[in-house]
Amino acid sequence: MRNFVVTIDGKSYSVGVEEVAADGSAAPAVTNIAPKAVEQTKKAEPAPKAAAATVKGEEVKSPFPGLIKNILVESGAQVKKNQPIVVLEAMKMDNDITAPCDGTVTINVNKGANVDTGAVLAVIS
């Protein structure tokens, strides 16, 4: 049996996989190895939800799933149309997410957070 660590949705699991011979029969028995304690990865802080509910304006949504690598402006800052506001990493590439209009930005995510497609990253009012 071989042990592996698998991470699903940020949670790590230790799993054992039984080896099989080429003919499909079970491989010779191997002494069972005690599972190791798996160190949990540090999760990013959850995004502030209250701000999104109270601020009305144009939502800036994530075009694809990814990791918030950097936040380029602070909440309350004035932004111009097409100004980069968040850097979203997806498939090892950095993507600038820009403001769709002029206005005051309210950031709804934290650096290091994983987001899904359609997640509201910011609101411009």
Per-residue pLDDT reduced to its tens digit, 97-122: 999 999 999 999 999 999 999 999 99
Structural tokens at position 112:
């290091």
* Run of H or E including 98: strand 93-98
Q: What is the pLDDT of residues 49-95, one digit of tens each?
A: 444 445 578 999 999 999 999 999 999 999 999 999 999 998 889 99
Structural tokens at position 19:
């080896």
Distance CA 36, CA 27 (A): 23
Range list of H helices, 1-125 = 49-54
CB contact set of 9 (below 8 Å; sequence gap of 6+): none
Structural tokens at position 113:
């957070």
Q: One-letter amino acid identity for 90?
A: A
* Run of H or E including 109: none
Q: In DSSP terms, which residues pair with 105 in a beta bridge?
A: 124
Mean pLDDT of the chain: 80
End-to-end CA distance of the chain: 57
Distance CA 99, CA 111 (A): 17
Q: What is the pLDDT of residues 32-48, one digit of tens each?
A: 555 555 555 555 555 55
